[in-house]
A and B are shown apart, each in its own frame.
Chain A
Amino acid sequence: MRSLPKNTVKQSSIYRQDTVQSYLMLAPMLIGFALFTIYPMVWLIRWSWFHYDGISPPSFAGFDNYVRAFTRDSHYWDSLVNTFIIVIAKFVLEIPLALFLAVVLNSGKKINSFFRTVFFSPTIVSTAIVGIVFFLMFEPFLGSVNQLLKAFHLTETNINWFGNKWLADLVIVIASVWKGFGVNMIFFIMGLQNIPQEIYECADIDGVNKWTRFTKITLPLLAPTGKVIMMLFIVNSIKMSDLVLVLTNGQPGGSTEVVMSYTFKYFFSYGAADSISQYGYSSALAVITAIILTVVVGLYMRLTRNVGNYY
């Protein structure tokens, strides 16, 4: 048997050492991921097959929780539809706004740095505070929005912003866009700064106008970043619950409930001391929502699989 060259043995040993090191370096994160992400997910899936209130011993329910969600709980599906309405409205407003501001503020000028900071600042405000501030702004009796509309004679009577589904959803969307556009603007700026300047210089030499530069160079080269930003946007928006809980708590008539706030209320009694938590059913709702989210993201990834393949 022919022995391996000395050099190859040495390389193989270095490779093995590197591999061990890599795993050791990854271990803390992987252990954390397994403990705090995978393990709870497994438990959640397990509980979805049980009737469990957190107090009495759990009893096996088979498919009952899933059957109940699909056949006897129209409110869950209403909340899912409302979630998509809010996500679409947010998408239409937030992404173009973030992109527009990113393009405008994408240079090293000091004033741009100031505005980037200003526009990013809503992101760091707590969602609870955002909810309270927007409630006070849109408060029907003395809220500043109604006072402003009356001052400009756009309305004569106070508008009850929380009195019907569409107005209340609008307030949720406005508050959510205000809180979220800053971080997306920063992501877009990062993407813009990765576009090679030489391409713009070539375009300048060719006498390309600004609009063509934007549509033919900026947008295509920003597409890979935009694809990730939009995927994160969709996932985070579908998972939204805190703002709805603080701002409307699902009112009026439960019509502004989103899928996560609805599921949350079965997990936690949320002030209803006389009602029993339904961990099994809420776990089933969480599993169904996760599957829907996976389908939406999978569809998005498939539809955008060729986006950014410009080389």
Chain B
Amino acid sequence: MHSQTMIRVGPACLGLTLVMGILSGCTGSSEGNSAKESGNGSNGSNTKMETVRVWTNDGAYKPIMDPIIEEYNKGEGLKDGIRIEYKVFGSDYNDVLKVALAAGQAPELYKFVGTVKEPFISSGWMLPIDDLPGGPDFLKTYKDILINGYTTFGGKSYSVPYKVLSTKFMYNKDLLKKSGFNTPPATWDEVVSYAKKITNDNKGSAYGYGVHLKDSASSGKWYFASQFASSVGHMGYDFTKGKFAFSDFTPNIQKILQMKADGSIFPGGEGMDNDALMAQFAAGRIAMLPGVNWDVSALDKFWKEIGTHFELGVVDTPVMDPAKKYKNYAQIADALCIGPSAKNMPEKAMKVYELFHSDKVLKDIQNNEVDFIARQDIQAQAPASFKKAGTAEFGDTSNSYLALTPPDGGITVEGQPYQNTIVNLIAGPANADVAAVLADLDKRYNSALDKAVNGGMDMSLYVNKNWDTRSK
């Protein structure tokens, strides 16, 4: 009898233990947090050690930042009571960040991905630098280059310009010369004819033009819309009218579809991302393609990996009509914003923010040709010559306009975003009705914009009657 009872009680206890285990597991996570906090101990002096977390997806900066952070954590950080925890995330960074912010688990400093910060600011997910100790002094360095609607809202700055992203047109001089072209194309008609001849001359071993369509979000913005700006004066949003005007891209897209019909585009772009296409360009199989300044490092990397090399040409993006030329698209980007958890340690968060924006860090990034720094006083300290092909040409922004922030990041659009729509047009059939698709795109974006304006969106940030990007 006793053993029978034990047999029944045993599993019951086991079940109860499991339930308790699960419940205690739930509380375990909060214990984990407090354990992390208790890790912020003392440094031997009276200064309280605290961890300032920094999240980003700028993997390219890691080799520069890691030794600087290590040195700081072992030296200055001990005096300041700061330990920097620097994390570089992958492609899911944007979603990871949003979930962390919504759950109140976001770091003290983080990189904001995107252009429109208003929803983050109104949700309290960003703190103004002006309100942090030492913030106003820090901002003095940037007072001439702060961008209303991107770094600054309502007179307060939430980030500072860090780097410049510039767009140009890249070509393989060797392939062009082989087909008898000694100058790069200046118009899209020339691009089409160059591409056709180069493709025919190389009989399948090289193609005239290259596109990548798999990463539609990045490709649609940076390798199509932005590249059309030199032909139409904007990359989809007309600041003078305060309206979306993707229809202006119609002739540009038709030229690319023409190259597709001619068989002049490197095959398989539908399954390639930018890295895959750059590898083929580095291997000398593609003659021409649009480029963004980050491609300089990618090309250099692939040349080293593949062991190939050719003479690279980088010029202004071709235009539709030489009589109506506009500047190339360029964009200022920031690197870090201040998260809401910085309220708990404002001095320390600001100190780390300043470290990440220090002259030494900026010069290291620029002089190692990792990125193109926005501050002109740092630009002036650039080396006289560059190791990577294309750095000098992409760095010359004399014929580029620094774009204002368009409102698309703050509106909810029905259907496919413009990036996907453009990419789908190019990946789709060559006889697609481009004008009709782009007219529908305009309609969807402008309806969403009207809805946002009715909901209280401040359009003063997105209308500029004096907006002029013409190339003189």
Contacts and interface: CB of A to CB of B under 8 A. Distances in A.
Contact of B91 (A56, A157, A252, A271): A271
A21 B11 contact: yes
Interface residues of A, number: 52
Contacts of A133: none
Interface centre among A21, A75, A139 (most CB of B within 10 A): A21
A160 B410 CA distance: 38
Contacts of A269: 94-95, 217
Interface in A64-97: 68, 72-73, 75
B417 A251 contact: no
Nearest to A249: B214
B195 to A, nearest CB: 16
Given A17-B8, A253-B424, A72 B271 contact: no
Contact of A275 (B14, B122, B280, B417): B417
Given A72-B414, A253-B428, A55 B12 contact: no
B270 A248 contact: yes
B353 interface: no
A151 to B, nearest CB: 16
A39 B114 CA distance: 32
A245 to B, nearest CB: 10
Interface majority SS on B: helix, strand, loop or mixed? Answer: helix
B123 A56 contact: yes
Nearest to B426: A253
Interface stretch (B16-24, B182-190, B294-302): B16-24
Nearest to B220: A272
A54 B98 contact: yes
Contacts of A73: 414-415
B22 A28 contact: yes
B268 A274 contact: no
B409 A276 contact: yes
Contacts of A24: 11-12, 15-16, 19
Interface in B327-382: none
Nearest to A30: B19
Nearest to B263: A157
B216 interface: yes
A281 to B, nearest CB: 8
Given A25-B11, A270-B217, A276-B410, A31 B415 contact: no
Contact of A248 (B92, B271, B409): B271
Contacts of B119: 53, 55-56, 276
Interface residues of B, number: 58
B270 A251 contact: yes
A51 B91 CA distance: 26
A154 interface: no
Contacts of A274: 114-116, 217, 221, 408-409, 417, 419
A252 B427 contact: yes
Contacts of B204: 157-158
A62 interface: no
A272 B411 CA distance: 14
Given A21-B12, A56-B119, A254-B420, A273 B268 contact: no
Contact of A51 (B22, B410, B412): B412
Contacts of B113: 273
Contacts of A123: none
A268 interface: yes
B206 to A, nearest CB: 10
B215 interface: yes
Contacts of A254: 416, 420, 424, 427-428
B409 A27 contact: no
Contacts of B416: 75, 254
B133 to A, nearest CB: 28
Nearest to B15: A24
Contacts of A273: 94, 113-115, 217, 409
Interface in A142-185: 157-158, 160-163, 168
Contacts of B102: 54-55
B18 A28 contact: yes
B417 A272 contact: yes
Contacts of A238: none
A247 interface: yes
A241 B158 CA distance: 37
A138 B417 CA distance: 29
B267 A158 contact: yes
Contacts of A252: 213, 270, 424, 427-428
Contacts of B16: 24
A54 B102 CA distance: 8
B55 to A, nearest CB: 15
B207 to A, nearest CB: 9
Contacts of B409: 273-276
Contacts of A253: 424-425, 427-429
Contacts of B218: 271
A282 to B, nearest CB: 12
Contact of B270 (A32, A54, A162, A271): A162
Contacts of A168: 270-271
Interface in B262-315: 266-268, 270-271, 280, 285
Contacts of B268: 139-141, 160-163
Given A268-B95, A275-B408, A28 B19 contact: yes
Contacts of B11: 21, 24-25
A273 B33 CA distance: 30
Interface centre among B98, B114, B204, B270 (most CB of A within 10 A): B270
A311 B122 CA distance: 68
A263 interface: no
Contacts of B123: 55-56
B267 A249 contact: no
Contacts of A17: 8
A205 B91 CA distance: 64
Contact of B271 (A25, A53, A75, A162): A162
B98 A277 contact: yes
Contacts of A160: 267-268, 270
Interface of A: 17-18, 20-21, 24-28, 31-32, 51, 53-56, 68, 72-73, 75, 135, 138-141, 157-158, 160-163, 168, 247-255, 268-278
23 contacts: A18-B8, A24-B15, A25-B11, A28-B19, A31-B19, A32-B22, A73-B414, A141-B285, A157-B204, A158-B267, A162-B270, A168-B271, A248-B271, A251-B423, A252-B213, A252-B427, A254-B428, A268-B95, A271-B216, A273-B114, A273-B115, A273-B409, A276-B412
Given A163-B268, A275-B419, 8 more contacts: A55-B98, A160-B270, A161-B271, A168-B270, A251-B424, A252-B427, A253-B425, A269-B95
Interface of B: 8, 11-12, 14-16, 18-19, 21-22, 91-92, 94-95, 98, 102, 113-116, 119-120, 122-123, 125, 204, 213-218, 221, 266-268, 270-271, 280, 285, 408-417, 419-420, 423-425, 427-429
